[in-house]
Structure 1
């Protein structure tokens, strides 16, 4: 078979296997690196013999180098710099002091337990210094932990990669020179590579950022490709100046470009993220396919003990030393940091290249060191990756325990939501571009920021980093969706919800499955209408406890009928002191407390007599129309009216159109539970017919009235003597 065809098929198989592993991992909610390793080993020479990476020769080194540069750049581009100040001291210690701790601890364990020579043992220690964003980032997406923990893990994985890789190159130089290199040359070689890479990366990243912000000749279709070409160009230039300096260049360029606040940054990050997934998938499959299982099994028990010491002794010691001066991290967070340190693609790729170089120089131990590094990767990924969710729950460092809410929209509904969260002891911050609405919120004792919710600085100022809920409730459904999606992508809070128009919410199921943004509340009446109800004081704020057994089913059916009629808007559900915004498909468990708005229209005269009073605070109360459940009757087949003021008329007992109208009963206004209601003061002059009885039952069952004239007409009429 033609060599070109064979190489092409090798690449195709690697791509299919890599993407397949990503799909399986995403479906099973397991780190994809687990399946990348399995698929690569199965397709390798020792099992199925389909993939043979050695056929690429020197081309494999080129593929690895360019892919690693892209991976490190993407890590720097996605690193959230704004959260680093909270853990900056600990992060600095991990990249500097922590590197030395892992180097020395890993080297001593490999020598004394793994029985490796000192030179090869310290080479192993330098290779396992790095953790890697290719493993940490997917893990943090699946296991949402508290913000300081996530920032520290992600920052360490990005910044320590080039440092560890350059350190490994320096150690390899010492080995290749038979230890003739003096310590000063070792330190200077490390610092020179870091200095060249950092300087070139900063300059190149700034130039790329300026060209993207001020360009007049680049189309949107070319911007991402220009950045890709620029990064590889900077990487190649740094490698030309000093070997392995390009790794630091890639990371720093990504950090500087992220800090430049370039326009349309999200498409660039999405594009680079997709390329990184492809590169990681292909690399892991090919490198694991090249792994010799015989060399892996030949390591013996000493290798297992070496990895165990690295995981259970060196890593906890590293975290304890590096976070000693950080009083903001509690012992639970430090324990979780001690457990999570999976190794990734940088360790695998550098170890594979070093094995080739050592073999070419005739130095024994190349295959063994590669096997030990892969054993470390397999052990840390399987043990730490698969147990991370359980450990986070055990140590109670999950982000789902976060409290507080950020509400976009200072309209009456948004202010009410913020107040309800605040009354439960949680922080609540409102964001709106309407200065007058923000002032009204401040008058009500709420914290409001008059700015755009699309600004990351504003969201950070609002406390989205530590908030448990983010919800957008502006009157514009499109704005709500965009703002919520942006918040989910940039900050990833535990609960992201948006209020959509009723027609858009009905078609949002498919989009929600592909997005973290959920639809808030159950609305049959437009948001503008409920805001008007709140402004006009046409609502009451009610609560009810979800009952048990058969009563629960009747209660939920009754509440849903009121929702469908537009009489009730469920807001929040509280269970075990946790407050959550209601979602369409939410299952209200027995014992939960439901808070809702009840539409309680009042006549215009009562509003005039009340003098407006729009600032009167709604008080949570028990509403009998919701609390009292209708008795089940055979006549329940009568359909509820589609609108609150419509009459429910039985088709079998319909009153003929020629029948005389019943006399309108007189009404008087009374106050009950702080809300004005209407009571009948005299009965109708005609006897109640069966049809009217049926009509009254239907109206009571659905929370509507079936009187021939509205209460407003009965009171607001100028001829009514009781108006005074």
Structure 2
């Protein structure tokens, strides 16, 4: 029956953890909030259904192997190219920032929380980390600009092993107080870091070579080979030097990503799912073992300690570490505010509490209590307000402007010019030298290269623009390019002219790829219309009592293949028109209208004075006078379109 009881507890923990994740994603609230609440509700202080202490040393092993997966997945998601943009700030946060947090947190815990100096600095070593288990989900729900997201994600992943090593070194110094503390700290950090980095580089390289050469294995089996390899590297590193395994797994993940193996996407997806499961179960189990009474017994001094850590130590650390960076004050303020603690702090604190008690030191339970107090205060305060703070500081990625457009065909160049005329940056990409020459003639920046080249996309500025649009003449290629843009670079808005055989539902919310303009767009036909001058450019503002009639009228023209919506301005923001767009009151729609009349073609054949299309010069259309083409719309007379 005891075995069944333990099995039932694991089942309850999994169910509660996944339920908390679902609830967090539904309510757009960091899931760790509900994970902590679930653990407290189901633990000894609540319903008593979960008793993690009964797992014994099994809990310690579960925590260690799960954290190894979490940090490996974090390293696998780090892009060295993105890190290069914030390398100085990231290096300072992981090094100088760690020292400042250790010193500031230790002094605050001693003077305000009334902890002995040894326990005060042990606490500070545990909270120098900003776990990727919290930062990652938080940044998925609060879309901030790429530079800030990269800095926070990089710090979360890289500082976790550094913090864990530092905490172990400080604990060793406490338990062996006859040694020279400073020398012990420096030697311990250097030894564990060297073993972790060296073994991580070697192990990550071997995994990369194995994935490239074991072509006879299925993708599913390759994923499991990597999982076994990660745990093997972790175990070997731990045997060589305790607590060096975390650094090993992070470095192995970074090295493996740099190999750019073909199975990388499937591997990252598999490891992401494992990480989600591990985080869910661990947070529920660790918080279930928490004594609320021990947190209450800490008193207001510990609350003030955490507040000093959040409101004084962290902002000072960020200001010093990013002093010479190109981050503006809004970005720095957000980085200073968002530093929630995660699973590494919780798991190592739980382990240390046991070790201190076993060695006869008082204060282990208090140490665990103040660490969990820090986790709860940072998660609730920063996690619940991060979206509001990002909007207030105007650093959300939704505010990003500009576009990267793949396809220098006539329609692509027209869209690029319309964006450019509104003062937004535009970069075109194409492999066809003739099409690139025509785009350059329109004063559009062009890269003659394949959009599958990540270096070209980075140089084109995909990390900072608001829109990515794939509109080559090949719908299948557009689908691949758009999906890769979502997975690799996460632009705020991703559009593609999708193949006519692909159902509209395929570009749903989960893929984040939107079908551009209209579903099943015959792009070659519209390119021909533009080349032959058989079109007119127009704009209409939707509104008034006839909004539904306007929409019906426009949709009828779209279905007839006579009208193609291009851009939509809503609340002052210019964006690509979606195929499934539900138009709203006061939306401003920019479109092209097919007009094959011979008289118009004759007039267009000798004119080029209107080749530069300025959106602000288009006439306002009061209602929807689109029943028949009229000369109210200025013609596009550029035969090179």
- How far, CA to CA, are the matches of 1:569 and 1:264 in structure 2? 39
Structure 1 residues 123 and 612, CA gap change in structure 2 (3 angstroms): same
Aligned to 1:446: 444
Deviations 1:320-374 (A, max 9, x none): 1111121x11111111111000000000000010011111111111111101000
Distance 1:537 1:350, change over 3 A: same
| 8 Å Cα contact 1:541-1:619 kept in structure 2 | no
Which sections of structure 1, spanning at least 5 residues, go unmatched? 632-639, 646-669, 678-724
Q: How far did 1:271 drift?
A: 0.5
2:198 corresponds in structure 1 to 199
Work out which of the residue numbers 524, 530, 533 in structure 2 matches 1:528: 524
Counterparts of 2:442 and 2:472, CA distance in 1? 19
Q: Distance in 2 between matches of 1:552 and 1:342?
A: 47
Distance 1:458 1:558 in 2: 42
Q: Does the Cα contact within 8 Å between 1:602 and 1:676 map onto a contact in 2? A: no
Q: What do residues 218-266 of structure 1 show as CA deviations (whole Å, max 9, x unaligned)? A: 3323211111111111111111111111111011111111111112210
Q: Secondary structure at the match of 1:550?
A: coil
| Cα displacement (A) at 1:43 | 1.1
Q: Report the CA distance between 1:675 and its aligned residue.
A: 4.7
Is the 8 Å Cα contact of residues 359 and 366 (structure 1) preserved in structure 2? yes
In structure 1, the residue corresponding to 2:477 is in which secondary structure?
A: helix
Identify the residue that residue 519 of structure 1 maps to in structure 2.
515
Alignment of 1:331-350 (within 5 A): 331-350=329-348
Per the normalisation by structure 1, the TM-score is 0.83
Give 1 or 2 for the bigger CA radius of gyration. 1
Compared CA separation, residues 111 and 217, structure 1 to 2 (3 A): same
Contact 2:160 2:344 in 1 (8 A): yes
Verify the 8 A CA contact 2:514 2:579 in the aligned structure 1. no
The CA distance in 1 between the partners of 2:364 and 2:413, in whole Å, is 65
State how 1:689-704 maps to structure 2 within 5 Å: none
Structure 2 residue corresponding to 1:567, chosen from 558, 562, 565: 562
Matches within 5 A, 1:255-654: 255-326=254-325, 328-501=326-499, 504=502, 507-509=503-505, 511-522=507-518, 526-546=522-542, 548-575=543-570, 577-603=572-598, 606=601, 610=605, 629=624
Contact 1:541 1:597 in 2 (8 A): yes
Counterparts of 2:23 and 2:632, CA distance in 1: 60
| Partner-residue secondary structure (3-state), 2:574 | strand
Give the whole-Å Cα distance in 2 for the aligned partners of 1:456 and 1:285: 39
Do the aligned partners of 1:524 and 1:566 also contact (CA within 8 Å) in 2? no
- Relative to structure 1, the CA distance from residue 245 to residue 479 in structure 2 (aligned partners, 3 Å threshold; closer, same or farther) is same
Asked if 1 retains the 8 angstrom alpha-carbon contact of 2:418 and 2:614, the reply is: no
Is 2:8 the partner of 1:13?
no
RMSD after superposition: 2.6
1:424 offset after TM fit, Å?
1.1
Is contact 1:523–1:563 with CA below 8 Å preserved after alignment?
Answer: no
C-alpha separation between the residues in 2 aligned to 1:360 and 1:197? 28
* Distance in 1, Cα, partners of 2:614 & 2:298: 71
1:513 is paired with a residue of what secondary structure? coil
- Between 1:591-600 and 1:202-211, the stretch displaced more is 591-600
SS in 1 for 2:379: helix
Decide whether aligned partners of structure 1 residues 46 and 575 sit closer, same or farther in structure 2, where only a CA change above 3 A counts: closer
1:208 corresponds in structure 2 to 207
TM-score by length of structure 2 reads 0.94
Unaligned runs of 5+ in 2: none
Taking the aligned partners of 1:296 and 1:395, their CA distance within structure 2 comes to 34
Q: Distance in 1 between matches of 2:636 and 2:488?
A: 47
